[in-house]
Structures are given as structure tokens and as C-alpha cells.
Structure 1
């Protein structure tokens, strides 16, 4: 169990723990005739399929069992020919679906943030929402990453540059590596992440006993969870007129990377910022989406009618 926990992020660990509990229940249900072999693993995965689980859920179980059970026939569980053939079949029967077929335009959110005025005029709640939204858009990182930012790991290299080191174990963290985010000063203070971060740190600098960047907006001030940061991001989407029954906080990652590509940012830079490897197909498969625009065919056609 310790090996399993040390090999993954906190959120992934919770998913793996659920798999482990299901595996234990499955073993007990088999009774004395239970035999630990690769065919048994496939039967367990098939049980998940019969329960209605999708490809992603079953693939998570495969990854967890690979760590938990070791090797069969000189193969890790997840790479065993029987398991890979089974997963290909699951992929055809229940292919992993994309969460969004299109995504909102970040310009709408940025216009809202700019309309709030200077940082000094904002209360702590709106200042927190603004900083969270700017970080989510400018870094293309998950909410989990934003919640993992520690104040001691924020370094202002100069008046025009800040570096933020993420030392916590995340979903994409590799052994011996720490993710680093770089942000430069932007000419418009209303949209400048660096300026907003400086002001937020000065406002919340007196909060005792917290290492995290983001703190609660009401007494007693303390570190907030990723769920709270996600609620702030959804609130910003609501204010911007974006349907939050469809788009959740994770859609910031879809929107920022899709918009960056549309604006001509090199694909390597997008991958680097979002934490994807050069060979990763994640962006093309799940994040690269058409951006919803009010200047679409229908809008242009209808607006051409002069009243």
C-alpha cells in the first residue's frame, strides 16, 4: 500500500485506493478457490465492465493493479498481452469520450476581469477569484496544481518576472522533477498576473499558519482546498455568462490551450506550459477544441439584416 501511495498524486491515490478495496472484495467473493493469475485480473476488469464502468475507470484499475500485483510472465499487469488485448476491446466497445466538443472563449472571462478595475479596489473574495482565474488561464494547469502552490516556492526573479515551483506530487509529476511556471509582467495592470499576485500576497501576508498561496476569504483564515478554488473559477464563468452546467472549472485548461493554439502559440510551448510530453496525444485527443464565438455563421447572417 505504501508503494502504491508513493507512486501517485493524492487525487490518483484516492482512485487507486477505491480499486484496491474493490479488488479485496472481489478476492473474498471468490472464496478458497481464488487463484492469483493474469486470467483472474482480466476477470476482475471484466466485472468492472459489467458494472457499467467506462474505459477510463477500467484503465485506472489496470494501472493500480500493475503497481499492486507486480509482474506475470515477465510482464507488468498493465502490459501483459492478455490485458492489453482486453483493454483494446473495451476501447472499441466503450471508447473514452471527450468531455467537451467545444469550449468557451477566454476573451469573455478576461473582459470580465478587466471590468473589475484595479486590484486595490477589490475585496479579498473577488481578488482571490481574479488571481485563480488568471493563474488557470495563463498556466493551463489543473485546479489541483493551483491548490499545491506554496508561498515559499514563489520567487520574484525581478520586478518583471516571477517563478513558481510546484514541489508537491501531482498527476503528471515525474520522480526527481519539480514543475516550474514562469510569468512575465503584462502591460495592462488589470490583467497582469504578476501584479495581481504581488497584491494578493501583500493583502494576505499577515495570515498566520498557512503555507499555501490561496487562503479562505472569511475568518478564520486558513488554506483552502482545490474544491474551493474550483468554486471560485466556476463563479467567474457564471459572471462571464458561460453555462456552468456544461463547463466546469477544469474547462479553463481546455479553453486556454485551445485559444493559445488559435492565436499562433507554438505547440511545443503549449505542451510545456500544460505539462504534457512532446509525444503526448492528450491535447489533440481531449483538449484541442473549437472555441465558441458570437461571430459565428448564424450571428453574422442575422446581424446583416438592417432594421
Structure 2
């Protein structure tokens, strides 16, 4: 609708394009809200009704935003590391649904995952329309779109909306535009200093929603593939070669106050410490840690309580599926009692089995989900946390460890850095590449060597060679 005007009443002039719901649904003068996350209320009397080509989305509301997941022996790697509603039938389908708003924001009120159906329920509506044009039923379309993770669908949806806005400003049809138009958009991203990985996400979102060219998708077109190869050369990926933070200092802090004694510290610190120790001992990524469950079929302690076997929720699908070799994480106690020295007692404070057992006992009274890591803060205590919140836990644990030692944490600490630091120290202490890749769920050693291996040696090669001539 290019222009909308009323009869003899005050006219409405649209200085910019607005969602259709602001015009057809909002009460009053049809003015779009300037802030907030609440959508417009439904008008009591609809003055305009338009037919819509968008198919019925009754099956994709839950599929686009599923709720949080409720539900290899890496001991060698672990020890090496440690040592170092409204009725929808009333609302006419002709009205475009409002876009999702809001995001997960860290706060002291708690760590709560977004509710099902919230934030990204419209994810890839354009893709659903394309699939519907092929004659597929809504249930089949929902299953096909479920091949992508919820976070991926939400990310693609946001990138596609940016591309739609770019096309609207140039009078182009976003889902049918030509190859030169798509290349022009990608070039604009390149000249705005977007990273190569960001450009790849935009291209993936366009490929998912565009109708394609003959028998190929947008990403498979020869010119676009050559463009991406050229962009890769212009935007080389700079990989870190040294650790972002000091593992030995963080482990020393975790074995002392305020992270000890384990039985009397706050549940917040216990949650941070358990998550960080489990991440370091397992070399797992955040999504795999997030998938662990306390259900008896997934978490089993030995009779002596000095070993634990952890399995992810059966519904969890890792990125490297089906080449996922380490489905079971087995951990044994680290320097268990009786202690032969004070050093053994200090190292036992870093035992992930001990921390996990204490954490599960402390949270069993108010737990509302089988997911391993749950919120500790009221009023959402006991609810499962999101993957983003779990990432914050890992970063906060490292930062608090630095502060407890009277040091300022380094900037740019990422939760994913635990993977590279843990596996690099394991390699330095003699763990084989095969065991490292099995623990970290890497199908090939090239992944570790190319992206994760860090220089954790105390003495560089140059100094060791030059030191040969010394006494």
C-alpha cells in the first residue's frame, strides 16, 4: 500500500514504510509506537480487509520458536587441563502479524530462557511462502524448516529483513531480484567493513528465502560463489594464537575463596564454578553443555560417587551431526580423598565431579526442568537457562576469578575460548590428537590445528634454541 488516506477526517501521511498492522489494527490515529516491545491492539471494527498470499502459520508457531531443551572418554583431557491467549480464528489472516521483538538481556533478576513462541516466530515467513507454492502442506513445511536450529532461523529472519528493507528502498522484489542486485547488496556489506562470516550469514538467509535461479539456489550461482571467494581474500580471518586469559591463574582462584568452601558458597558462585569446570574438563562448546540433562537416563554417578557419565538430551542435534562421536562424557574424580598432601586437597577443589554433584544436590529442591543448568535467581529460580545465559556464566566466572586475585580481567573474553585453551593445554601435556578430537567432537584434527590450537608453552621455541649455548 503506497498511500492510505481517510475520508473527510484527518488524513494519514506515511513518511516512511510501516508494518501493515500499525495501519489496520492500531486504535486512535494509526500512529506507530516509538518504543517498547508490545504490539498494537486489535481494532474492534475492521474497516479494511485484504487477502493475503501468506499461508496458514498455525503449524509453525511452535516450530519456529521451540522451548528450551529439557532434556569418549575425556577424562585424560580433563585431568591434563585441570592440572594446568487470544483466539486466532477471530483475527483475520489478511492482517500481517507483528514482528517479534526483544532479546535475551543479562540482568540480576535471573537467567530465563525466552518463552516458547516468542522472538522469531515469523523467522522465515518468505521461505514458507516459497515452499507452499510448491504444493507442500503446512505440516511438511514446518518439518523442513525445523532442520535449522531455532537460533539459526531467528538469525536468518533478522538478516532477511535487512535485505528486504534494502530492496524496498530501490523498488526491487526481494525474493525475485536478480544476481547483480544481490551482488550489489553484498558489496555494500563489504564496503561497510562487515566481517566475512557476517556476509556469509546474509547470503545464507537470502538463499533460504529467495526463489533461486532455475535449478540452483542463490548461494550456488557461479558469480556469487566467485564473489564470495574474492571477499574471502579481501577479508582474511585473523585467528588468535595466544590465550585470551591465564588458565593457571583462573584455576588457582577457583580453588580458593570466594569459590571455596563449596558447601557454603552462594548458589550463583557454585553455578559459575560448575559450568566453567565442566567446560574446561570436557572441551565442549556451549550448545553441548546446554544440552546436558539431569534425567536418570542421561546423568549417572557411580556407586562410589567418584565417576559420572553425562549424556545430552536425545533431541539435541550437534553441528557435526552425524559425525558426533562423543555422545557420552565420562569424568572421574580429580585427586579424590583421602589426601596425601595439602596440594592434593587444593587440586580436589577443581574436581568437576565434586562440583557437579554439589550443584545437583543444591538445585534439586527447586528444579523445574531436567536441563542441567537452571536459573539460580528469583523469581525465575529453577527454570532452564538459555545458551546465551550459559555463555555469560562462563565469562563471569573467568572475570570473577581475575577480580578475586586482585587483577583486572582482560577485555574481549569469550565463552568459546574455553575450547581452545583446554585442548591446547591437553596437547601440550601429551594427550593425543585423536583423544582431543574425540573429546571436543571434531571429525578431523585439521579443525583443531587451524582454528583452536594456541601457544600455551612457557618457553618459546626461539628461547629454547638460543638457550642451548648457555651454561
Name the TM tier (shorter chain). 0.7 to 0.9
CA offset at residue 170 of structure 1? 5.9
Map residues 67-82 of structure 1 onto 2, 5 A cutoff.
Answer: 67-69=208-210, 71-82=212-223
- Cα distance between partner residues in 1 of 2:323 and 2:251: 36
CA offset at residue 79 of structure 1? 3.0
Larger radius of gyration: 2
**Structure 1, residues 124-159: CA drift from partner, whole Å, max 9, x if none?**
122111111111112222333333333226321634
| 283, 298, 303: which one aligns with 2:448 | 283
- Cα distance between partner residues in 1 of 2:223 and 2:393: 45
CA offset at residue 29 of structure 1? 2.6
**Structure 1, residues 209-263: CA drift from partner, whole Å, max 9, x if none?**
2332222333331333334333332233232457341323221122112212222
- Cα distance between partner residues in 1 of 2:351 and 2:146: 37
- Cα distance between partner residues in 1 of 2:172 and 2:413: 48
Contact 1:10 1:169 in 2 (8 A): no
Contact 2:292 2:310 in 1 (8 A): no
Q: Which moved more, 1:22-31 or 1:50-59?
A: 22-31
Residue in 1 that maps onto 2:312? 165
Name structure 1 gaps, 5 residues minimum. Answer: 301-307
Q: Which moved more, 1:237-246 or 1:49-58?
A: 237-246
Map residues 1-307 of structure 1 onto 2, 5 A cutoff.
Answer: 1=124, 5-31=145-171, 35-69=176-210, 71-98=212-239, 100-103=240-243, 104-115=245-256, 116-117=259-260, 119-152=262-295, 154-156=298-300, 158-159=302-303, 160-167=307-314, 169=316, 172=319, 174=321, 180-188=327-335, 189-220=348-379, 221=381, 222-238=383-399, 239-240=401-402, 241=407, 243-278=409-444, 281-291=446-456, 293=458
**Structure 1, residues 176-231: CA drift from partner, whole Å, max 9, x if none?**
97972412212424222223212211111011423322223333313333343333
Higher strand share: 1
Contact 1:237 1:244 in 2 (8 A): no
Contact 2:323 2:443 in 1 (8 A): no
- Cα distance between partner residues in 1 of 2:206 and 2:411: 34
Contact 1:149 1:166 in 2 (8 A): yes
Higher helix share: 1
Local SS of the residue matching 1:206: coil
Contact 1:143 1:250 in 2 (8 A): yes
Closer, same or farther in 2 for the Cα pair 1:172/1:288, shift >3 Å? same
- Cα distance between partner residues in 1 of 2:366 and 2:440: 30
User: Please, what is the CA RMSD of the aligned residues?
Assistant: 3.3
Closer, same or farther in 2 for the Cα pair 1:108/1:166, shift >3 Å? farther
Local SS of the residue matching 1:161: strand
Matched residue pairs, number?
Answer: 297
Name structure 2 gaps, 5 residues minimum. Answer: 1-123, 129-140, 336-347, 465-471
Contact 2:219 2:225 in 1 (8 A): yes
Contact 1:139 1:181 in 2 (8 A): no
What is the TM-score of this pair, normalised by structure 1? Answer: 0.81
- Cα distance between partner residues in 2 of 1:65 and 1:171: 24
- Cα distance between partner residues in 2 of 1:203 and 1:122: 11
- Cα distance between partner residues in 1 of 2:219 and 2:285: 26
Local SS of the residue matching 2:309: strand
Residue in 2 that maps onto 1:303? none
- Cα distance between partner residues in 2 of 1:42 and 1:11: 26
Contact 1:151 1:212 in 2 (8 A): yes
CA offset at residue 284 of structure 1? 2.5
